[in-house]
Amino acid sequence: MRQCAESPGGEVWVEVDQLGRVTGVEFRDSALRLSPSRLSEAMLGAIKQARQVVGEKVMGLFEQGFGNNPEMLRQLRQAYQPDLGDAPGPTAPRNTPSDGILRPKWGE
């Protein structure tokens, strides 16, 4: 099972598998006009969207198979959905040298 999603501005297209792992990324020409931080936001947003949709599809299949066992569904939801929910976003300030490449600060 695969799911594709695109950033709101169409700059980034991603594909994830049934476990939410990224299996494809494509940057459109419009991605070149984004700052590195905006490109990162666009990519992470597309990944989050694809993961949420594929997670809903997978949970739908689980419900079909385990619908008569609510405890099993609860355990599957707890085990599966955290990996498919929020994509990580920037969590700490970063150094942006003159070359425009974002790098984490050491010691964080």
pLDDT of residue 86: 44
In a domain, 26, yes or no: yes
In a domain, 105, yes or no: no
Distance of CA 16 to the CA centre of its chain: 8
Alpha-carbon distance of 72 to 62, in angstroms, equals: 9
Containing structural domain, residue 10: 2-88
In a domain, 84, yes or no: yes
Which of 19-28, 56-65, 75-84, 91-100 has maximum average pLDDT?
Answer: 19-28
pTM: 0.67
pLDDT digits over 26-66, tens only?
999 999 999 999 999 999 999 999 988 888 888 888 888 87
In a domain, 33, yes or no: yes
* Total number of domains in the chain: 1
Structure tokens at 23: 């299996």
Q: Cβ–Cβ contacts within 10 Å for residue 41, how many?
A: 17
